[in-house]
Amino acid sequence: MSRSLAPMRILHTSDWHVGRTVRGRSRADEHRAVLTEIAGIAHDRDVDLILVAGDQFDTGAPSAEAERIVYRALLDLADTGAHVVVLAGNHDNPRRWAAVRPLLELGNVHLADQVARADRGGVLDLTTRDGEVARVALVPFVSQRGIVTSEQLMHERRGAAQHAGTYAERVARIIASLTEDFGTDTVNLVVGHLTVAGTGGPALGGGERQAHTIFDYVVPPQAFPSTAHYVALGHLHLPHRVQGPAPIWYSGSPLHLDFGEADRGAKAVLLVEATASTPARIEQVPLSSGRRLRTLRGTLDQVLAARDEVGDDLLRVVLEEPPRPGLADEVRQALPDAVDVAVAPREDDEDRDAPPELDMDALRASPAALFSEYLEEIGTDDARLTGLFQRLLEEAQDEDRDPALGGPA
């Protein structure tokens, strides 16, 4: 049955983070379930185009199991008959994506592992089954170190002096180059793995790499043109809209990835309907797969009394009890899904003459935040030191993305 008069249907998902564990507990079965659910939604809604906006993997060196899950999911999405567009995110390894790109393209999966000029794959014109055309500008993650080269690819004849400005300004020029041919007879889309925020700042969910969401990594929504019907973003894990010249949305991650994201709303994919001549209509489609992350806090008796209420939730237990040998084992025996058990610090602990306990909040803080605290402690706010630290941190993280190569990109 033809639906030639119907709008183009687009499914937006991102930040799968396959391979992520919670305190060492595998979530592979949850990822299989939720990705199967997403493929089912794509099939049932008869979508034309599926946008996967980066961070399919949790690490640049994924396990064989993680690769099986991701590649199977992409092929399942393509089996719906829709075009599938995939970006490399900051957790992904672009070289690994480039290696498998020819195989995925045989299955109607279009992959962008790095920024490219419009005429060299940076913009795709995809024709749907009903003859509609989507023009898709691709902005995979690009680091501070890579932004200069990426922008030069857009305008190869510029002199070096013309490649100036902040990260945000350079990204804006890349987007402008990729979207300059957005016309009135196509459904115009931008897919990016970026931190985009208005005056309220980015809506962090707890699982993002904070070094890639602060300092110069924030791109203003004004970077996107009003000619875009829809901007599909990945990188931040809470589904939300960013106010701007076009509809700008994060789909968020399909699972709650750590306890910092718990109790912050349901997970979803976004279903977008648009025609070349009409605005996009966006629907959040809730996801039901995946286990809830829950924190139980109280005395041992209070925590154990809640055992019948938690179902198969993964639990963080914070005990308001004096520490004693075997306490954590007692909790885990009664609550097998308690992946994290800790004793809450007492107010009088600071007055005791005992070695200080490790500050777990500090250990979980981002390196950038810790460095800022250090500068504050020594009484300096030299922006040059902050910038140098950020560059060194970026180099170290670039090395982490592909340890098999033995050095930075």
Question: What pLDDT, in 10s, does the model give residues 43-102?
Answer: 999 999 999 999 999 999 999 999 999 999 999 999 999 999 999 999 999 999 999 999
Angle between helices 383-401 and 367-377 (to 10 degrees): 160
Cβ density class 361-386: b for 16+ within 10 Å, e for less? eeeeebbbeebbeebeeeeeeeeeeb
Residue 409: pLDDT band with limits 50, 70, 90:
very low
CA distance 155 to 162: 10
SS3 162: helix
171's tokens? 């990204």
Burial class (CB in 10 A: 0-12, 13-18, 19+), 263: exposed
Q: How far is Cα of residue 199 from the mean position of the Cα atoms in its chain?
A: 21
Q: Which residue has the higher pLDDT, 337 or 380?
A: 337
Q: How far is Cα of residue 302 from the mean position of the Cα atoms in its chain?
A: 36
Q: Domain 293-344 belongs to what architecture?
A: 2-Layer Sandwich (3.30)
Tallying the residues shown for the chain, one arrives at: 409
The predicted pLDDT at position 179 comes to 96
253's tokens? 């991650």
Q: Pick the closest to residue 335 from 305, 291, 292, 293 (CA basis).
A: 305
CATH 3.60.21.10 domain range(s) in the chain: 8-286
CB atoms within 10 A of CB 56: 30
Residue 404: pLDDT band with limits 50, 70, 90:
very low
In degrees, to the nearest 5, what angle opens at C-alpha 250 toward C-alphas 247 and 251? 115
The one-letter code for the residue type at 359 is D
Q: Pick the closest to residue 186 from 108, 126, 112 (CA basis).
A: 126
Q: Which CATH superfamily is domain 8-286 in?
A: Metallo-dependent phosphatases (3.60.21.10)
CATH 3.30.160 domain range(s) in the chain: 293-344
227 has pLDDT over 70: yes
Q: Residues 41, 10: contact at Cβ < 8 Å?
A: no
- What average pLDDT score do residues 16-26 get? 92
DSSP E strands, 106-204 = 109-112, 123-127, 133-139, 187-193, 195-196
CA distance 91 to 98: 15
336 has pLDDT over 60: yes
Q: How far is Cα of residue 118 from the mean position of the Cα atoms in its chain?
A: 24
SS3 93: coil
